[in-house]
Structure formats: C-alpha cells, structure tokens
Amino acid sequence: MTMLQETAEKALQHGKQFIPQGKVADYIPELGKVDPNQLGLCLLTTDKEKICCGDVDHRFTMQSVSKTATLAIALQELGFDEVFSHVMMEPSGDAFNSILKLDLASNRPYNPLLNAGAIEVISLLSPTSSFDELLSYIRVLCMDTDIVLDEDVYQSEYLTGNRNRAIGYLLKSKGVLQGDVLKTVDLYFKMCSLSVNARSLAGFGLILANGGIDPYSGRRILDGWVCRTVKTLMLTCGMYDGSGEFAVRVGIPAKSGVGGGIMASADNRMGIGVFGPSLDDKGNSISGIQALEYLSHELNLHIFESQR
C-alpha cells in the first residue's frame, strides 16, 4: 500500500465517525431515500496515480457541483466579461437558495455558485447550448462517459422546485434573466440531476488542478484562466455559507452538492472526489468535510501551506 493510499484510507475512516451527526437532504424527496452511511473517496493526481476507497462507484446526482461545470463552460464559450456582466463574484454569507440580497441589495446574483447565480449562468448558455451538448461537455470535464440524467431525481426536483422558479421570475422581473424562465429553470434542474460518482468528481477536480489539460490524453479541455477563475470562486463561495470556515480549516478549492458530493481541486497536485450523503446544517457532506480536512493536513494541501 502506498503512502497516498494509506492516507486516503485513514481519511475515510476519520470521516465515517461524523456520519451520525448529519442527515440526508429530504426537501427533494428522491434524495431522502439515500443510505446516509455511505462514504467514498477518490484521488486522481497530476502524475496519473489513482487512489480509491469506500463507495467510489455509487452513483448520485451532481446537484450544486454542476454549478462549477456550467460556469466553466460559460466562461469558456462566452468569455469573462460577458458572464460577469450578469453575475457578481462576491461571497453572500447566505444560504444557497436565499433571495434576500438578490431582492434587497443587488439586481445581479452575488456569485455563480448560488442558485440564483447558477440559474442566470444557465440562461446565458441556453440560447446556444442544448441539454445534450452540455451533457457531452460535462462527460469530458469529469472523464466519465457514463454520466446520464437521473430521471427519478429530475422529476422529484421538477415537482418540488418552486423556489427556484421564483428565483427565475425574480431575475426576470429585474431584467437580468433574458430568456424563458421555465425553460431555463428546467435545464438547471437537469444539470443538477446528472448522475456521477466520486471518480467523476475527482476527474473534474483533476482537470481544474492541471490547468485545464487532461493529463491522460494531453488534450486541453479548458483555458487556464477559466480554471483559475472557477477555482477562486470555489475557494470563496463553493461550500455554501460554510465557505469561510472550510477555507480556513481545509484550504482546498471545493464545491459541494446536497446529493452528498464534494469536488475538490488541489492546484498542480490532484483532483479529489467525495461522496457522503449525510449533510451538515449548511448542506455540505459532514463526513466529506472531515475526510478532506484530514487529507489537507496530512498531505499539506492547504492553498496557503508554506511547507510544500
């Protein structure tokens, strides 16, 4: 067993201790059916080492991790200035589905990793990008050709997603969202309902960590500035309203989703994918955060770690 494999196994066991302190997301009924005791961890390094332990092959839905993918695609296809003329880059300090600042402080969403910001980014992509085209792009980003739409979760989101429709209509009323609200929000639901596993998220994290280049094929997937922008927003906004504490304790750019996934990107080192559906009160995988904090400490992965 390599040092990296041993460290990952210990991180997994450390994380498992915290599972009972959380609970699965049940506001989307289909997510409430998931076994909370699962935990998987996958590390893919820039020098092509693969480390997997636990429930790495279990499929779950991307949920908010998809926001980083659609942001990356929008930046790549539309450019920096166009995207950030519609959405800001600031942490909000509010819950992911909050509309307080959107209604009271600013017409533009505070950042692309909030629901409002992600819906606005989808509205920028939808005139020229179909669901199938976005799916194909995300398969490449995640190095996973088996990603498909989870129909059950999608239907569950569609039936219970009135708050997101309300966000869409609020954006429309402010003149920010230009397209059809229902079609835009429906595409947002579909992006959240893509079925991935911990390996998929590690693949995406690796592409970002490697400056947009797939180290296996040598193919450039994203421009370097796109990766830099996405990783910066992940560090400041990626863990909902727990982003500040996560940045201090773990210090790895990461994005979570209420399906239990966390995609993390340790610059020039590795991509990390986590699946742990037991969530804390912020909506983040409680065991996943603990596993990542363990890895960060043991492998000196904190972005401001001086001993590299």
Residues designated catalytic: 64, 67, 188, 240, 258
Q: In angstroms, how far is CA 20 from the centroid of its own chain?
A: 23
Give the Å distances, CA to CA, from 210 to 142, 215, 223, 231: 13, 7, 11, 11
Give the Å distances, CA to CA, from 124 to 152, 178, 179, 226: 27, 8, 8, 16
CA 80/CA 105 separation, integer angstroms: 23
The values of phi and psi at residue 99, to 5°, are: -120, 10
| Of residues 75, 191, 186, the one with CA closest to residue 132 | 191
Token pair for residue 307? 């001993």
Residue 6 neighbours by CB under 8 Å, 6+ apart: none
User: Position 215: which residue type?
Assistant: P
Taking residue 196's Cβ as centre, other Cβ atoms within 10 Å add up to 31
